[in-house]
Structure 1
Amino acid sequence: MSHPRHDIDVSEEAGVRYLHFGSDWVQGAMRIARPWNLELAYTREMMAGLLLRQETPWPRHALLIGLGAGSLTKYIYRHLPQTRITVVEINPEVELVARFHFKLPQDPARLTIHIDDGAAFMAASQEQYDLILVDGFDPDARAGGLDTAPFYQHCRERLTADGLLSINLLGRNRGFAASAERLRQAFDGRALVFPSCDSGNAIAFAASGNPVAVGLDELRTRAETLKRETGLNLLPTVTRLQMAGSLAGGRLSL
């Protein structure tokens, strides 16, 4: 497998360290004083599966495709100690930068990192995952093989009965509508695109096993508990879902 050949840069401003792939476009961020927190709004929203599944323990095994600055990996490692974490990253230099500049933990018992193409890994994998998080782009904001019908189908096959797929679709991208439709078709319509964040990122969730049905009041209660216990504030996400009319009959259903 050939690895991507692009620059990897790190910058800092106002107490925040940023990861770039040879451009000003931000690939990841960490507030230096709070390295375990999710600094970027879209990364916080990618963890909204914690509002949708309340089985304990959940998730037992999380798969992350695209390491970046390691923000999602570090949040899960710190706040979900019952979760085993597998990360797939195509560029070995990204792992080195995440360890050196972004405090990615070294814990082979809980955290495994594979240097591999995410689409190829999913096609070959026989593991089952409770949570699959996909956030992989090249320097030109292209997802490549991570935005295809076969890839989404492989994700579906790898989910447990209580599994969820969370994916960053980059809502202002020209191919966004086609990406969302491919995802819906792969999951027989059981996919929901959240209203776009201010950054333009749109996060989608999909499920194929046990149904998700959570009322607005319960979503708010779960979000308040999550904020209190881990510092992750998803209350704005719940409000945006309500304002956008995404909660048919006052419930989020998948």
Structure 2
Amino acid sequence: MAEDDYLILPSPFDVAPGRVLLREPRDADPTVLEARLRAGTYEHPFVVDDGEHLMLYLGSIELIQTVMDKNDPQALMPGYSQAMMTFLLFNPQPRDILMVGLGGGALLKACRAQLPRARIEAVDVDPAVLGWRTLFQLPLDDARLAVSVGDGGAFVAAHRGEVDVLMIDAFDETGFAPSLDRHEFVANAHAALSARGLMVTNLAGPGAAYGEFLMAIREVFDDQLLVVPVRDDGNHVLLAFKDPSMRPVWHRAQRMAAALEARTKLALGRFVDDAQRIGWRRLPDTLWQAD
């Protein structure tokens, strides 16, 4: 999609200077749109282009979803998105990956680049999000890639026992998607995973927003979990493992992290250090203190 297909306004945000790209008719009133952007009442995803990065926001400047380096569109920016790739330390060659929540597709592109033989299915509940697919240079669907609009809960429930990695990065204008903060969703996620499958979830905002989700994880996955704090942005990434015999081997994970860093831009070693410090099967207090 060409730049001419967007309505472009000067950014009204001091914290995000540059240009705002909107999917609005050319005859839309820019004064009204600017006022809604400032007030946080604009109900659609929008993009800020600061000259070096494209940043996808979900209706509010407080809810950034994806950052893309315009000079290196395939790179994962530091922060939670890199931490989500820690699943590679425990399953370096997954065959089937499901993603709930697409955003600008940074994780999809990373998985596609690192795992060209894996089949990836991704779903987002908001059709407006998929409208930015071309701008963020996501690949087209093919035999190993399918991107669709739909409910994440129903999407996961439709799978049984074949998913090696389930990635959850699902937020709406209020924060962590409330439809996923339920015991039923976690039970379906567990059932969707293969025998050695794992679920990796981005947690952001106050712990109360996903309290039921965490309690369900502990029950359904029998505390087979690791939490990775993300120093760059205050998020936490949670990995839950279906295999009841799974135990992290820290020196092996460190070697895997070093090997990945040597051939990619994924700096995962510090995440291993932090997860080891917190410990296996433990939820850190910082989860509940997040704001």
Which bracket does the TM-score occupy, shorter chain normalised? Answer: 0.7 to 0.9
What is the root-mean-square deviation in Å for CA atoms of aligned residues? 2.1
Q: Note if 1:68 corresponds to 2:106.
A: no
Q: For residue 156 of structure 1, what is the aligned residue in structure 2?
A: 190
Task: Give the residue type in structure 2 aligned to 1:187.
Answer: F
1:107, distance to aligned residue in structure 2 (A): 3.5
Q: CA deviation at 1:94?
A: 0.9
> Does the residue aligned with 1:175 lie in a helix, a strand or coil?
helix
CA distance in 1, matches of 2:77, 2:51: 13
Task: State the distance in 2 between where 1:76 and 1:112 align.
Answer: 13
Question: Unaligned stretches of 5+ in structure 1?
Answer: 249-254
Matching residue of 2:172:
138
Aligned residue pair count: 240
Q: Matches of residues 91-106 of structure 1 in structure 2 within 5 Å?
A: 91-97=126-132, 99-106=133-140
Alignment of 1:165-176 (within 5 A): 165-170=199-204, 172-176=206-210
Task: Give the partner amino acid of 2:122.
Answer: V
Q: For residues 161 and 250 of structure 2, what CA distance do their matches in structure 1 show?
A: 33
1:81 matched residue in structure 2: 116
Q: Secondary structure at the match of 1:77?
A: helix
TM-score, length-normalised on structure 1? 0.87
Query: Does the 8 Å CA contact 1:171/1:202 hold for their aligned counterparts?
Result: no
Residue 247 of structure 1 deviates from its aligned partner by 8.9
- From 84, 88, 91, the equivalent of 1:50 is 88
- The Cα shift of 1:133 comes to 0.0
5+ unaligned residues in a row in structure 2: which ranges? Answer: 1-41, 283-291
SS at match of 2:131: helix
- Quote the Cα distance in structure 2 between the aligned partners of 1:113 and 1:64: 9
Amino acid at match of 2:59: G
Relative distance call for 1:136 and 1:29 in structure 2 (3 A) is same
TM-score (norm 2): 0.76
3-state SS, counterpart of residue 30 of structure 1: strand
1:14 positional shift? 5.9
1:219 deviates by 1.5
Match of 2:64 in 1: 26
Structure 1 contact 62–129 (Cα < 8 Å) conserved: yes
- Give yes or no for the alignment of 1:179 onto 2:213: yes
Residues 188, 214 of structure 1: alpha-carbon distance in 2 compared, 3 angstrom cutoff:
closer
Residue by residue over 1:68-87, the C-alpha shift from the partner in whole angstroms, topping out at 9 and shown as x without a partner, is: 01011000111211111000
Greater displacement, 80-89 / 142-151: 142-151
Instruction: After superposition, give the CA deviation of every residue in 1:2-33 in whole Å (9 maximum; x if it has no partner).
Output: xxx93110012361210001111211111111
Shift, 1:162, TM fit: 1.8
Q: What amino acid maps onto 1:8 in structure 2?
A: P
Q: Using the alignment, how far apart are the partners of 1:85 and 1:244 within structure 2?
A: 31
Q: Deviations over 1:111-145 (max 9, x none)?
A: 10121100122223346210000011101213111
Question: Is the CA contact 1:19–1:27 (under 8 Å) kept in the aligned structure 2?
Answer: yes
In the TM superposition, residue 163 of structure 1 has moved relative to its aligned partner by 0.6
Moved more, 157-166 or 167-176: 167-176
Task: Give the match's secondary structure for 1:224.
Answer: helix
* Greater C-alpha radius of gyration: 2
Higher relative contact order (CA 8 A, sep 6+): 1
What per-residue deviation string (whole Å, max 9, x for no partner) do you get for residues 32-71 of structure 1?
A: 11111111411111110111124xxx21010000000101
Mapping for residues 105-254 of structure 1, pairs under 5 Å: 105-126=139-160, 128-170=162-204, 172-209=206-243, 211-246=245-280
**Aligned residues of 1:128 and 1:160 also touching (Cα < 8 A):** yes
Following the alignment from structure 1 to structure 2, what is the Cα–Cα distance between the partners of residues 247 and 128?
24
The whole-number CA distance in structure 2 between the counterparts of 1:214 and 1:188 is 15
Change (3 A) 1:196 1:44: closer
Report the Cα distance in structure 2 between the residues aligned to 1:207 and 1:126, rounded to whole angstroms: 15
1:10 and 2:44 equivalent? no
Give the superposition deviation at 1:171: 5.4
Please give the alpha-carbon distance, in whole angstroms, between the structure 2 residues aligned to 1:176 and 1:86.
24
Superposed displacement of residue 182, structure 1? 1.8
**C-alpha contact (below 8 Å) 2:104/2:136 kept by paired residues:** yes
Deviations 1:192-236 (A, max 9, x none): 222354412111111112633333222211001111122211012
Q: Secondary structure of the residue that 2:194 maps to in structure 1? A: strand
